[in-house]
Amino acid sequence: MTPVLAKAEPKLLALDFDGVLCDGMAEYFETAWRAYCHIWQPDDTALPTELKGSFARLRPLVETGWEMPLVMRSLVLGIPEAEAMADWGAMIQHLVEKENLNPAELGEAIDGTRDRWIASDPESWLALQRFYPGVIDRLAEILQTDIVTFIVSTKEGRFIRQLLHQAGVEVPAEKVIGKEIKQPKSQTLRDLRDRHLSGPDDPIWFVEDRLKTLQKVKQEADLTTVQLFLANWGYNMSRDRQSIREDNRIQILSLNQFAQPFSQWLS
């Protein structure tokens, strides 16, 4: 099926949270370091703030949570960023084998670290999340329109609602689809279409910062009318953006465009 041309504005808008609305890099960094300390038990457990920039540049390579402690491990070991970026999969496989690591245990370390932190001091955890400039005002504007708007995220819905509440935006619980739903975003888009739109050609726009997520949606034969946007301010790399310059389904979106009327998103 040939994709239809994008219409002037969506009937249904789906927004990712981390990397589109919210920048949680500071929390990612500290959680990864705490998990690193749990696994490798360094003598000095002070947060290595000098590694923060490198961590942020490598963070887009992470596909699943268990890889985050390995970002920190690669930096502590002094592995050059360029080497990690050249073949991330091979590098983490080498670390796993060389250090006799278990991805499941690494995942438990990162999830357990975050869960304990949230349980013991949720305010400090929430304080490390910040919204990208202008997105809250734009979201508030969109919520005042007739456009059916959902937040579709791998972050827990309760935290998304709390962060938005703190920023002065109230989003109904049923409009926030978090990690608790436990299904691919492609299926969530399918569900939203079936429940909230009257016809297959009603336009859905989906904004996401992870290129692989968008590519998976693109592969779904029954989702060819979903207009896909890659948020270039989120957790992706220049090579990701460059690779889709000629893509007929995935549009690169800037933060400046996001703040403007929908007609500007397609320029």
User: Can you give the pLDDT of all 267 residues of the chain as single tens digits?
Assistant: 444 445 678 999 999 999 999 999 999 999 999 999 999 999 999 999 999 999 999 999 998 889 999 999 999 999 999 999 999 999 999 999 999 999 999 999 999 999 999 999 999 999 999 999 999 999 999 999 999 999 999 888 989 999 999 999 999 999 999 988 889 999 999 999 999 988 777 899 999 999 999 999 999 999 998 999 999 999 999 999 999 998 989 999 999 999 999 999 987
**Domain 12-23+130-266: top CATH class:** alpha beta
Q: Looking at the chain, which residues constitute the CATH 3.40.50.1000 domain(s)?
A: 12-23+130-266
The reported pTM is 0.90
Tokens of 44: 């000095």
